[in-house]
Chains A and B, each alone.
Chain A
Amino acid sequence: MYGYQGKILRVNLTTGKISEEKIDEEFAKKWLGTRGFGIHFLLKEIDPKVEPFSPENKLIFATGPLTGTTAPTGGRYMVITKSPLTGYIAMANSGGFFGAELKFAGWDAIIFEGKAEHPVYLYINDDQVELRDASHIWGKVVSETEKILTEEVGDKKVQIASIGPAGENLVRFAAVMNNGHRAAGRGGVGAVMGSKNLKAVVVRGHKKVEIADRAKFMSVVKEKIEKLKNDPVAGGGLPKYGTAVLVNIINQNGLYPTRNFQDSQFEYAEEQSGEALASKYLVKNKPCFACPIGCGRVTRHPAVGVTEGPEYESTWALGAHLGINDLASIVIANHLCDEYGLDTISTGGTLATAMELYEKGLIKPEELGDAPPLRFGNTEVLHYYIEKLTFREGFGDKLAEGGYRLAEMHNGVEYFMGVKKQELPAYDPRGAEGHGLGYATNNRGGCHIKNYMISPEILGYPYKMDPHDISDDKVKMLIVFQDLTAVIDAAGLCVFTTFGLGADDYRDMLNAALGWDLTTEEYLKIGERIWNAERLFNLKAGLEPLKEDSLPKRLVGEPVKDGPNKGHVVRLKEMLPRYYSLRGWAGDGKIPEEKIKELGLEEYV
């Protein structure tokens, strides 16, 4: 089998048993990799109704067939588990260098099951695989963890995925971190890792990834890299300003959510823009493994030294979402989130929920005691509560539960701006309705990256669509985006390649590497299978589609107050039935038997 190592590692943390399993080409053609592999194993091996923090939940690290190859951005891995935030599927993606190293060690995926009695880490050096004591690093922040473990194993070339204190303390939106600042961020995958007493995975590999037709693959890859380098976004805007170039763009277009989506333009956006970051704190770009784009930002601030980011999403979540304009505080807060192992979007989203609950009088000042008041714009809030929630101290214990549970405790669920209990990212969908439909139907809840309709609706890629159009063309485009993103994820590539590449380009690279002869449609079918299998998992976990494929009341009921999208709401009710129908689903949002059969999912029902 080309592209794959053909082997999966299974680690039972309860018994300490480590075993290996083979995968074959039939399996690979059905699920491709990363989240495809993940959803297969979760559907086969766990009860979707399982308590996410129980030993019965499983935690899967998986690569794709192009991970560890020279394909542009071919270094990604995903962490797949049942989310403690949403109660549904979590599939969090990360770059850096960990994914490629896991592949070089000869493994396509690792399945962790059970729960260790005391803190452990997994050490992998090709076929040498051991569980080792991690008591001495439990409690350490991410950078220290990486430093100590690198010294301990005595090999500077190891790659490490680990959790910080947030994951250990079961903060429901804790991330798995690698290379200091790369995060498998969303859905609380780091908290599941913490619940298993697994502090880190340390990997060193010396093997190759075999390619079916190396000469052909090299020429295909060369062509795609050229395409990316010549693309004005992937080869221009992204390397120059990083993702934060979007701050001004999205703000000027009137969909930059401000003060928990109460406003859609932030008066201080300019001060926290990619342009401002570049002029004040940027040291250099930093690409992930095999990446010709290099959107990563190495930055420096006197308070924290050399750090990375913040990315667009983090800038917003820790800035405009909280009414905070001070870029320096945002840079430091972002650094803290990386060190503690927190998802920045949900951290900001939870704080924004708290601030609105405070503003509306549902969180009373006496509940906070001497802690800083949770007022929008109060910069003091940032660092104080990020620390408190990480360690679950004082009011931080409630914040650690995420925005939805916090709002529920305070009788203010309508002020939680999220979907399926996961906090929304940095686009007000009242200014991009297809993106809103994406939020509502995303398998992992409030998330932009699995169906980035901002691309056609605002940025104009692959072509410009009217953000307020809700025709079938828009709905169909969303479905293609969802399925294609699943293919790109499963291949082990970064979605940022979509600025310069189209569906056929991914087909070319996969076919050359794997020696397959699949059509673009056949790859998209794999994407559709993955999407539906994840949906099936959610349905089995108890998803009530008509109630939960939804958006916060504000976004469907309160028109935008001002700016270019003034007067608009998301017309979700008009889009959702057509989405179900175009997906081949029933009117109640469930997957009918014929669709299950068409996608070969019968054995998972």
Chain B
Amino acid sequence: MVRVKFFATLRSIAGKREVEIKGVKTVGELLEKLYAEFGEEFKNEIEERRMILVNGKNIDHLNGLDTELSDGDIVSIFPPAGGG
């Protein structure tokens, strides 16, 4: 089971701050499951650009969508955002 945390606009789209998901082996699989659960709007918000962290590490520097997930991992998902 992995814990998935949502931030910014994803919270209002998903209607919650976090979910627990079972039976996914990779980040890619996790996203498919989230898209199925939270629909097009959720998908559109993060399909093009986003930030996904597994235990605080950006998947861009792990294995991207193939990054493997283990029980107890925390996945944080952000829509495109910036500031200064």
Contact = CB atoms under 8 A, between A and B. Distances in A.
Contacts of B8: 237, 240-241, 245, 248, 274-275
Contacts of A275: 7-8, 11
Contacts of B82: 233-234, 237-238, 245-246, 455, 459, 461, 496, 499
Contacts of B51: 249, 459-460
A448 to B, nearest CB: 7
B7 A248 contact: yes
B84 A312 contact: yes
A245 B76 contact: no
Interface string B50-84: 01010111101100000000000000101111111
A253 B83 contact: no
Contacts of B79: 232, 236-237
Contacts, number: 93
Nearest to A241: B8
Given A237-B81, A244-B83, A232 B49 contact: yes
Considering residues B7, B9, B49, B57, which has the most beta carbons from chain A within 10 angstroms of its beta carbon?
B7
A272 interface: no
A452 interface: yes
Interface in A455-509: 455, 458-461, 464, 466, 495-496, 499
A243 interface: yes
A449 interface: yes
Interface in A220-243: 232-234, 236-238, 240-243
Interface string A98-128: 0000000000000000000000000000000
B48 interface: yes
Given A232-B48, A459-B51, A466-B61, A252 B83 contact: no
A241 B84 contact: no
B3 to A, nearest CB: 12
Nearest to A243: B83
A499 B80 CA distance: 10
B50 to A, nearest CB: 9
A238 B84 CA distance: 10
Contact of A249 (B55, B57, B61, B78): B78
A16 interface: no
Interface in A426-468: 448-449, 452, 454-455, 458-461, 464, 466
Contacts of B60: 460, 464
Contact of A252 (B11, B48, B76): B76
The 8 closest A-B pairs by CB, nearest first: A564-B56, A243-B83, A232-B80, A237-B81, A246-B83, A233-B82, A252-B76, A464-B60
11 contacts: A232-B80, A233-B81, A237-B83, A241-B8, A242-B83, A245-B7, A252-B7, A312-B83, A495-B84, A496-B84, A564-B56
